Structure 1
Amino acid sequence: MHASIKLNADALKKFRPLDRLSENQRILLAHKAHFSSFKKKKVILERGSLDHHDYFLLSGTIELEAPDGRTRTIEAGSDKADAAIAHLQPRQYTVKAVTDVDFLVIEQDVLNILLKEAPVNSYEAGDDFSVSDESSEEDEGTYKVLMSFYHDLKSNNFTLPSLPDVAYRIRQIADKDETSADDIARVVNADPAMAVKLIKSCNSPLYRGFNDVSSCRDAVVRLGVQTTQQLVTVFSMRELFRSKKAELKQAMTALWQHSREVASVAYVLAELTPGLNKDHAMLAGLIHDIGAIPVISYAENFPELYADETALKDAVDELRGEIGCTILEHWGFPNDLIEVVSKAEEWTYDSGSDEPGYADIIIVAQMHALIGCPKRNDLPPFSQVPAFRKLASGGLTPERSLKVMVEARHKIEEIQHVLGDDFRVD
Structure 2
Amino acid sequence: MVFKSDSNPAVSNADENSVMILAAAAKVSPVGELNDANREALCKTATVVHVQRNDQIKPENSHRWLMYLVEGSVHLYSGKEEIGVINAGTPEALKPLFLDKGAHQSARTNTVARIVKFGREQLSILLKEQQKNAINVMDVQVGELDNLVFDDIVAAMETNKITLASSAEGAEKILASYRTVAGIPELAEVIQSDPGLAVHIVRAANKVDSSNNDSTSSIRGAITRLGVTETQRTLIDLLQNNTMVPASAVIEKRLRRFLQRTRLSAAIVQVLSTKVPDLKPEVATMVALASDVGELLILTHANRHADRFTDEQQLVDVIKNLRVIVSAWLMSHWDFPEEFIDACNVARDWYRNHNGEITYTDLVTAALLIIQSEMPEPMHSSIPSANNLLLARRLQQAGIDLTAPDEIVKAATGRLLTLQELLKAA
The TM-score normalised by the length of structure 1 is: 0.49
Higher relative contact order (CA 8 A, sep 6+): 2
**Structure number, greater radius of gyration:** 2
The TM-score normalised by the length of structure 2 is: 0.49
